Amino acid sequence: MNDLIRLTATEAVRRLAARDISPLDLVEAAAARIAEVEPAVNAIPTLCLDRARDHAKALMAGQRREAEGERGWLGGLPLTIKDLTDVAGVRTTYGSPIFANHVPTRSHPVVERIERLGGIVLGKSNTPEFGAGGSTFNEVFGRTRNPWNTSLTCGGSTGGGAVSVATGEAWLAQGTDHGGSLRRPGTYCSVVGLRPSPGRVTRGTVNNLFAPSSVQGPMARNIPDLALFLDVLAGWDPNDPMTYDAPARSYADAVAACEAEKPLRIAYTADYGGALPIDRETRAICDKAVRRFEEAGCVVEEFHPDLGELAEAFLTIRSQIFVVDREQQLRDLRDQLKPDIIWNTERGLGATPSQIAWADRERAAFFRRMVALYQRYDVFVTPSAPTPAFDVMLRAPESIAGRKLANYMGGSMHNAAMTMAGGASVAVPCGFDQFGRPVGLQVAAPPRRDERALQAAALYERITGLDKRLPLDPRAGVVPPAEVEA
């Protein structure tokens, strides 16, 4: 069983196809691993192992194989689904006391797609309430802890998903991303998380179907596995008007060609020319790490796009999504919502039409500056988080590099800027700080060029080999001292 959890997703799928192992073998290996590590991390608070076993047995009996042979066929690979995403017959709480006992009768379209292509759902990974927060905790299930140091946060909001793949509880994890919810936990847990281009993966049932800010996406232990999962998720869905057809070439094939199709020119910034705060050691690690692309013959140049007033524009646009999603709950169930939900929603309700229009203009102006950047460079690289993982008991750090943050989203702009740019961005591990906390890079590409971001990240991963450190057993530790500005 221990050997099975150490297989990559790609290798496990290959062995499933060869009948060397069975879907049930993998489900039982995952179940044993979950029982072993879950008490230390609290990553998958809701399990559906009997449902998973039934699915595995059906596949082994030749049933539920209508999509076998299609791109992305997983053949019985177990994975986790974020607790924001409905799975039929499985408790789905959205991290909220309001829905503590909610059991949907139908799965979200992305889950239907995953299961149609041979993915087996093991359980629901933990998330902050309604996915709002950079640290994974809620009143229903409590806190999820970082396996590299269980005194630290795993990030948010796909924190449980990141921990589930880092520890070997699952081979893949589905998640969502608005201001960094796949990339930040990926960095803190030294796994990989991709925010796909808007429309690349169906959002299916959301009310803000015509807004590009929040997306569904994959997490994994390495980039080839991430590409495999994106091949499962990508494609047109009649439930989502922004979706479009999958590309002619698979993402797995594109990643396999990462050395032959490497990025020739790479733009890099640590802090947008001083516009964003960043931990000094994190900056030093990332400044050095990005130069490793030069070992593959890539040209790396510092370039600092003008952010303008993008942070305020992001919060203004983000708050309108909260109005769409939470206005009625704020009116009827205010006492059951956490303060961050109330703050985001009331901020949106208080915005004037002129402020909303200004934010859209600011976003468009930044997008045009990024278009100009991509005319000169193949990809754009930044740190994927401005600090390493912080105390698990905190909702967010109070300051970064001596600069006090105005709100809990204040440390998210490295990720949120790429959300506003409208393209794909992937977090890839690049090292560890003096306390052993993971640090990562964010590799971004233009809209609908997800393969370009994945190829660059895969090339970097081949150079560093950091993915070989996973899966890991959870480690107890203490919270390192906060950085003090000199």
Relative orientation angle of helices 413-421 and 353-376, to the nearest 10 degrees? 90
Say whether the peptide bond before residue 471 is cis (omega within 30 degrees of 0). yes
Domain assignment present for 475: no
Q: Tell me the residue ranges of DSSP E strands in 245-284.
A: 265-268
Dihedral of the alpha carbons of 265, 270, 272, 275, in degrees to the nearest 10: 180
Among the listed residues 107, 157, 214, 425, the single catalytic one is 157
Of 208, 216, 146, 232, nearest to 182 (Cα)?
216
Report the alpha-carbon distance of residue 104 to residue 87 in Å, rounded: 7
pLDDT of residue 486: 39
353 — pLDDT class (breaks 50, 70, 90):
very high
In sign, the C-alpha dihedral spanning 389, 391, 395, 400 is: negative
Q: Give pLDDT tens digits for 119-144.
A: 999 999 999 999 999 999 999 999 99
What is d(CA 272, CA 205) in angstroms, rounded to the nearest whole number?
A: 36
Asked if residues 452 and 378 have their Cβ atoms less than 8 Å apart, the reply is yes
What's the gap between Cα 474 and its chain centre? 20
**pLDDT tops 90 at residue 367:** yes
> How far is the C-alpha of 10 from the C-alpha of 16, rounded, in Å?
10
- Active site (annotated) includes residue 338: no
Q: Is the pTM of this model over 0.95?
A: yes
**Crossing angle for the helix pair 339-350 and 310-332, nearest 10 degrees?**
110
Q: With 70 as the cut, is the pLDDT of residue 485 above it?
A: no
Task: Report how far Cα 401 is from the mean position of its chain's Cα atoms.
Answer: 25
* Residue found by looking up tokens 């595995």 in the block: 56
Overall residue count recorded for the chain in this entry: 486
324 touches 208 (CB < 8 A): yes
| pLDDT level of residue 2 (50, 70, 90 thresholds) | confident
- Share of the chain residues as helix, strand and coil, in percent rounded to the nearest 5: 40, 15, 45
From CA 75, how far away is CA 73, in angstroms rounded? 6
Task: List the domain range (segments joined by +) for residue 69.
Answer: 2-469
Structure tokens at 160: 């449980």
CA-CA distance, 473 to 21, in Å (whole number)?
24
Whether 181 is catalytic is: yes
Number of domains in the chain: 1
Residue tagged 């986790």 (tokens): 80
What pLDDT digit, counting tens, does each position of 295-342 carry?
A: 999 999 999 999 999 999 999 999 999 999 999 999 999 999 999 999
- CATH code, 305: 3.90.1300.10
The three-state secondary structure class of 480 is coil
Taking only Cα atoms into account, the Rg of the chain, rounded to an integer number of angstroms, comes to 21
Dihedral of the alpha carbons of 383, 465, 183, 232, in degrees to the nearest 10: 150
340, 133 contact by CB (below 8 A): yes
Residue corresponding to tokens 């998330």: 127
Inform me whether the pLDDT recorded for 396 exceeds 60: yes
Torsion sign (Cα): 179, 39, 192, 21: negative
Mean pLDDT score, 68-80: 98
Identity of residue 117 = L
CA dist 239 and 109 (Å) reads: 8
pLDDT band at 346 (very low <50, low <70, confident <90, very high): very high
d(CA 170, CA 164): 6
- DSSP state at residue 206: -
Residues 394-405, mean pLDDT to the nearest whole number: 94
Give dist(CA 193, CA 225) in Å, integer: 11
- Examine the pLDDT at 343 and tell me if it is beyond 60: yes
Task: Say how far apart CA 293 and CA 285 lie, in whole Å.
Answer: 14
- Would residue 480 count as lying in a domain? no
Using the CB atoms, write b or e for 366-380: b if 16+ within 10 Å: beeebeebbeebbbb
**In the chain, % of residues over pLDDT 70:** 99
- Whether 68 is in a domain gets the answer yes
The mean pLDDT value for 412-439 works out to 98
Domain membership flag for residue 258: yes
How much is the pLDDT for 484? 54
- Is residue 327 situated within a structural domain? yes
Burial class (CB in 10 A: 0-12, 13-18, 19+), 388: buried
Predicted local confidence at residue 482, as pLDDT:
83
The span from the CA of 185 to the CA of 162, in Å, is: 6
Cβ–Cβ < 8 Å for 338, 129: yes
Residue 411 lies in a domain: yes
Instruction: Give the model's pLDDT for residue 381.
Output: 99
Q: What is the CB neighbour count within 10 angstroms for residue 165?
A: 31
Q: Which of 82, 124, 262, 338 is catalytic?
A: 82
Name, in order, each residue with C-beta under 8 angstroms of 62's C-beta and a sequence gap of 6 or more: none
Is 157 annotated in the active site?
yes
Asked if residue 386 is part of any domain, the answer here is yes
Average pLDDT in the chain: 97
pLDDT at 32 over 60: yes
The rounded distance, in Å, linking the Cα atoms of 453 and 457 is: 6
Query: What is the tens place of the pLDDT at every residue in 428-481?
Result: 999 999 999 999 999 999 999 999 999 999 999 999 999 999 999 999 999 999
Residues 6+ apart with CB under 8 A from 242: 198, 199, 203, 209, 210, 212
Catalytic residue among 164, 181, 190, 412: 181
* CA distance linking residue 220 with residue 174, whole number of Å: 9
| β-sheet bridge partners, residue 146 | 149
- Is 337 in contact with 326 (CB distance < 8 Å)? yes
CA-to-CA distance for 54 and 57, rounded, in angstroms?
5
Within-domain flag for 484: no
For residue 354, the number of C-alpha atoms closer than 13 Å in the C-beta half-sphere is 0
pLDDT(373) > 60: yes
